[in-house]
Chain A
Amino acid sequence: MKAPDFAYCRPASIDAVCALLAEHRDDARILAGGQSLMATLNLRLSAPALLVDINRIDALRGIHLAGDGNYLRIGALARHAEVARSPLVALHAPLITAAMRHVAHPAIRNRGTTCGSLALADPSAEMPACAIALDATLVLQSQSGTRGVPARDFFFGLYETARRDDELLIEVRVPCQPADQRVGFDELSRRHGDFAMVGVAVTARGTPDRMTDLRLVVFGTDTMPIDCRDAAALADRQAWSPALGEAIASAAAASLDPDTNMFGGPAVKRRQAAALIRRVLTATFTSREAWHG
Chain B
Amino acid sequence: MDKRADIVVVVNGLARQLNVPVRRNLVDMLRHDLGLTGAHVGCEHGVCGACNVRVDGVVVRGCLMLAVQADGATVDTIEGLTATGEIAALQSAFVERNALQCGYCTPGMLMTGAELLSQQTCPSRAVIRDAISGNYCRCTGYQAIVDAIETTALARKDGIPS
- Chain A interface residues (CB < 8 Å from chain B): 1-10, 31, 34-35, 38-39, 41-43, 50-51, 53, 55, 81, 101, 104-108, 110-111, 191-193
- Among candidates B25, B52, B59, B133, residue contacting A38 with C-beta atoms closer than 8 Å: B25
A-B CB proximity, top 4 nearest: A105-B134, A8-B22, A39-B45, A38-B64
Smallest CB separation, B97 vs chain A (Å): 21
| Interface presence of B158 (CB below 8 A) | no
| Interface presence of B147 (CB below 8 A) | no
| Interface presence of B90 (CB below 8 A) | no
CA distance A31 to B22 in the complex (A): 13
**Contact (Cβ within 8 A) A107 B59:** yes
Contact with A along B97-130 (1 / 0, CB 8 A): 0000000000000011001100000000000011
| Interface presence of B68 (CB below 8 A) | yes
Given contacts A6-B23, A8-B22, A38-B25, contact A108 B133 (CB under 8 A): no
In this complex, which of A34, A42, A105, A110 has the most chain B Cβ atoms within 10 angstroms of its Cβ? Answer: A105
A111 closest partner in B (C-beta): B60
Smallest CB separation, A41 vs chain B (Å): 8
**Contact (Cβ within 8 A) A193 B5:** no
**Contact (Cβ within 8 A) A107 B112:** yes
**Contact (Cβ within 8 A) B133 A193:** yes
A55 closest partner in B (C-beta): B69
Given contacts A34-B65, A53-B69, contact A192 B60 (CB under 8 A): no
**Contact (Cβ within 8 A) A2 B25:** yes
Q: Could you say which residues of chain B place their CB within 8 Å of the CB of A1?
A: 44
- Among candidates A3, A31, A81, A101, residue contacting B25 with C-beta atoms closer than 8 Å: A3
Q: Could you say which residues of chain B place their CB within 8 Å of the CB of A7?
A: 1-3, 22
In this complex, which of A4, A34, A107, A191 has the most chain B Cβ atoms within 10 angstroms of its Cβ? Answer: A107
Smallest CB separation, B149 vs chain A (Å): 13
**Contact (Cβ within 8 A) A110 B60:** yes
Q: Could you say which residues of chain A place their CB within 8 Å of the CB of B1?
A: 7-9, 50
**Contact (Cβ within 8 A) B3 A110:** no
In this complex, which of B28, B64, B115, B116 has the most chain A Cβ atoms within 10 angstroms of its Cβ? Answer: B64
Q: Could you say which residues of chain B place their CB within 8 Å of the CB of A38?
A: 25, 45-46, 63-66
